[in-house]
Amino acid sequence: MPSASELIGIGVDLISWGRAKRFLARHSFQFVSRLLKPSERDVFLKTQTPVEFFARCFIAKEAYFKARGGEWMGEAGFRDIETVMEKKDRFRIRDRGFRTEGHFFEVPDGIAAEVFVWKEGDSL
């Protein structure tokens, strides 16, 4: 029997480049790393554009949480899910039991993310 899929939400979030830069300047790497999955931390440490990479991960996860109903899942919730960059403007969020499609778009002096989330399973 094929698995059922139900759209459970659409989430949007945005951040200005200035706010992302200030956040990274204010917080230690240990704090930032608590918001990223190990695979994301590896990319963050190696990228030539850490502010852009962090901002994209952060807003993708924020948009995902909003699509899931807006309940804050804490730092562990951020760390337990993974932002998978597919193309410069496309991403997915890896979280068991959910399927996602997301995209980034430019806003004045910043970046925004929109994500669609489906609950997957045999019984909904």
Residue appearing with tokens 């669609």 = 116
Please give the residue that has the higher pLDDT: either 124 or 98.
98
| Domains held by the chain: number | 1
Task: Report the CATH number that the domain containing residue 32 is assigned in CATH.
Answer: 3.90.470.20
Q: In the Cβ-directed half-sphere of 63, how many Cα atoms lie within 13 Å?
A: 30
Q: Which domain holds residue 79?
A: 4-121
Q: How do residues 21-67 score in pLDDT, each as one tens digit?
A: 999 999 888 788 888 999 999 999 999 999 999 999 999 999 999 99
pLDDT of residue 2: 44
pLDDT of residue 75: 73
Q: How do residues 74-113 score in pLDDT, each as one tens digit?
A: 777 888 899 999 987 999 999 988 999 999 999 999 999 9
pLDDT of residue 91: 97
Q: Does residue 124 have a pLDDT over 80?
A: no
Q: Write the burial class of residue 111 (CB in 10 Å: 0-12 exposed, 13-18 middle, 19+ buried).
A: buried
Q: Give phi and psi for 4, each to the nearest 5.
A: -85, 155
